[in-house]
Amino acid sequence: MRGTRAAVSALCTGPAAALLECDCAGYCSTCLEVMQRFLLLYATQQGQAKAIAEEICEKAVAHGFSADLHCMSESDKYDLKTETAPLVVVVSTTGTGDPPDTARRFVKRIQDKSLPPDFFAHLRYGLLGLGDSEYTYFCNGGKVIDRRLQELGARRFYDTGHADDCVGLELVVEPWIAGLWAALEKLFAPRGEGEMSAALTAAPGAPGATDPAGPEVLHVESQVAQLRLEDPGRKGPEASEENVASSAQSRAVPADAGPSLTRSVPPLAQAALSVPASPPDYLQVHLQEPAGQEERQESVPSADPVFQVPISKAVQLTTNDAVKTTLLMELDISKTDFSYQPGDAFNIICPNSDSEVQSLLQRLQLTDKREHRVLLEIKADTKKRGAALPQHIPQKCSLQFILTWCLEIRAVPKKVLLRALADCAGDPAERRRLQELSSSQGAADYSRFVRGAGASLPDLLLAFPSCRPPLGLLLEHLPKLQPRPYSCASSGLCRPGRLRFVFTVVEASGGAPAAPRRGLCTGWLAALAEPLLQAAPRAAQASGVQISISPRAAHSFHLPEDPSVPVVMVGPGAGIAPFIGFLEHREKLREQQPDARFGATWLFFGCRHRDRDYLFRDELRRFQERGTLTRLTVCFSREPPAGEAPAKYVQDGMRRHGAALARLLLREGGCVCVCGDAKNMAKDVNDALLEIISQEAGVDKLEAMKTLAALKEEARYLQDIWA
């Protein structure tokens, strides 16, 4: 904190200047009196929004502000109806465009149609939305809240930021936070002094700097080209002698060598860096002798009910020479209260790789204490504002249990962790490189070699051997190990007491220089399935292998309630999974209601090879023979053409049936359901639908987009997609 205050001394000419001589970290009554308060709310699904909100809270003190930080779900701790301070909101997006679970009640409250249009007329707010542009509804969690606040009379004091996890959240998050302080200064300044205050706080040309002749709301530029990430002449107030480029290091790099995770090249290698201050540590870790009690996975805190269920069956759906291995697994849920509908998803709670956990223990020099119980306390002298014990780490569980079940050790490290690791590197060159990756000048290298490469903590520790972080640092910075979602591939009506799902084993190369490895959950599931695949049916059912599952929040990816509504299903690869549940359910309903009217069911399925990865081929043929599946179009992307050029991808198959497809959707009131990859397939299918509607309805692209938007609003265009 002292380093931070010294860094901002040149900028703090207002209330923040009074804080510079105090070492209270903003806690004492004198500092609280001079600081301007704002309410800071976050809504998070996996911890990103929370981490960003905590960063804003930490930086607020140095700028003369006091942030009242709360999760959006903590409605008993704030009241927007009577709030007089500015509001700052950081909100993520989950699913295909939903607000995170922690914001659901908040959104429901503000969407009350009985609220008057001036309900929030007293509020001034700024909002930062997090999302992923690979999904159709980019940043929709933030957009829903932003739009509704506007409808209820709230006004922005700072332009909304939309950060894209596809290219790197930090590209928007960092300039948005940098510009926030000028916007708050302007808002708090006495009338007539706003422009001067903002000009003093915002550096010229920085995101958030104001133009006196410009609009009232400040703007954040999100274009990557305007960030000037590698300006070698840029020097920040927090630059220190330690941040100056090492000439010896630059001479040691061959002229023709390119940059890598462990090495930079000019101009970055010679730049003076604006390195952020080290994050304050706040956890005191005590390792106690093991007590000998049995530890179970149920010890991990969970907001949802967790069910231990046995695996009753495992089937490999692809041949051994297929490009990817896809498995079907069946779970016995007959002795639980777990229930589901076709189209639902559920969570699987998986552990970290045992080999990676053991390697981490060895690196921390704690192998001999892996069975010791971990007890955490907040350091009495911490400078971290609002420090709290991590809720995802249970007290008095063994160190090995915590590393196995509680921490996402494969998470891509945030810059704040890289900055902390830099202080733990004994080698000057390694320290410099970690500082570069955490600096604003090194943003491009961070995006390429850390985030883009999917580098994790084990990769970094392998790449920087002199870095020896203490256990407390990792417990402070590693996020919660997240459960992995999977689509239900069965119908409880057809298979009572059984739940089936499909997964493709992910074979990924780790961030350099780590060796290739399997996906965390799919690799673990594949290992569990191996003995079942080789066992006789009776032996498989008696194996006793169990996994932990939990329900996911209900969503709308379901069959229409009216069975007469036509359904078009689009699902290449493992995306076919929920549609097998749809077809099982529809077939059972047809048996139970022989006189009922059922609409057409179409399926567009895609795979690489007819004889290697045509999933559920026999089941689909039976659905067709029984009339449950009206039309099946299968596209093989890597089959050699024979005669007429085949439809290579599902969107090609859709175009070939464009006229009939448009009639089904636009005249017969049908719905279309898409499941699978968000990055390419979902966008290509969306483009194909636009083209089909435009061509068959005789309208331009804009009108076709409006039609497709209407289908989404009516829940007739549903997506269950993933990155």
User: Could you read off the pLDDT of 242-289 as tens digits, one per residue?
Assistant: 333 333 343 344 545 789 999 999 999 999 998 888 889 999 999 999
Query: What's the confidence (pLDDT) of residue 623?
Result: 97
Q: Across 639-707, where does the E strand assignment appear? A: 671-677
* Region at 26 (left for phi over 0; alpha for psi -120 to 50; beta for the rest): left
Q: Which of 130-134, 299-303, 549-553, 677-681 has the highest mean pLDDT?
A: 549-553
End-to-end CA distance of the chain: 38
Query: What's the confidence (pLDDT) of residue 209?
Result: 34
Query: What's the confidence (pLDDT) of residue 447?
Result: 87
What string of DSSP letters covers 338-370? ----TT-EEEEE-PPPHHHHHHHHHHTT-GGGT
The crossing angle, in degrees rounded to 10, of helices 617-625 and 577-592 is 30
Q: Of 215-224, 476-485, 611-620, give the lowest mean pLDDT range.
A: 215-224
Average pLDDT of the segment spanning 662-682: 92
CA distance linking residue 614 with residue 646, whole number of Å: 16
Q: How deeply is 290 buried, as exposed, middle or buried, from its count of CB atoms within 10 A (0-12, 13-18, 19+)?
A: middle
Show the tokens assigned to 502. Answer: 């499909």
CA distance linking residue 415 with residue 279, whole number of Å: 10
- The residue to which tokens 């051997």 are assigned: 465
Query: What's the confidence (pLDDT) of residue 422?
Result: 97
Q: Of 51-60, 307-316, 403-412, give the lowest mean pLDDT range.
A: 51-60
Query: What's the confidence (pLDDT) of residue 636?
Result: 94
CA distance linking residue 536 with residue 51, whole number of Å: 49
Query: What's the confidence (pLDDT) of residue 644?
Result: 62
pLDDT score of 404 more than 90: yes
> Pairing mode, if any, of strands 373-378 and 283-288?
antiparallel
Average pLDDT of the segment spanning 85-90: 95
CA distance linking residue 388 with residue 372, whole number of Å: 22
Model confidence band, residue 560 (pLDDT cutoffs 50, 70, 90)? very high
Q: Which domains does the chain have, with CATH numbers?
A: 36-187 (3.40.50.360), 567-721 (3.40.50.80)
Say if CB 464 and CB 421 are below 8 A apart. yes
Q: Cα dist. 397→112, 373, 638 in Å? A: 44, 5, 50
- The residue to which tokens 């004994």 are assigned: 426
Full-model pTM: 0.79
Q: What value, to the nearest 5°, has the Cα angle with vertex 518 and ends 517 and 522? A: 165
Could you give the dihedral angle defined by the CA atoms of residues 574, 579, 580 and 581, in that order, rounded to the nearest 10 degrees? Answer: 120
Query: What's the confidence (pLDDT) of residue 264?
Result: 95
pLDDT score of 616 more than 60: yes
Model confidence band, residue 515 (pLDDT cutoffs 50, 70, 90)? low
Q: Which amino acid is at 404?
A: T
pLDDT score of 446 more than 70: yes
- Burial track 613-646 (b if 16+ CB lie within 10 A, e otherwise): bbbbeeebeebbeeebbbebbbbbbeeeeeeeeb
Give which of 170, 689, 180 is closest to 412, Cα–Cα: 170
Say if CB 633 and CB 563 are below 8 A apart. no
Bridge partner residues of 164 (DSSP)? 131
What string of DSSP letters covers 497-526? TEEEEEEEPPEEEPSTTSPEEE-HHHHHHH
CA distance linking residue 615 with residue 74, whole number of Å: 45
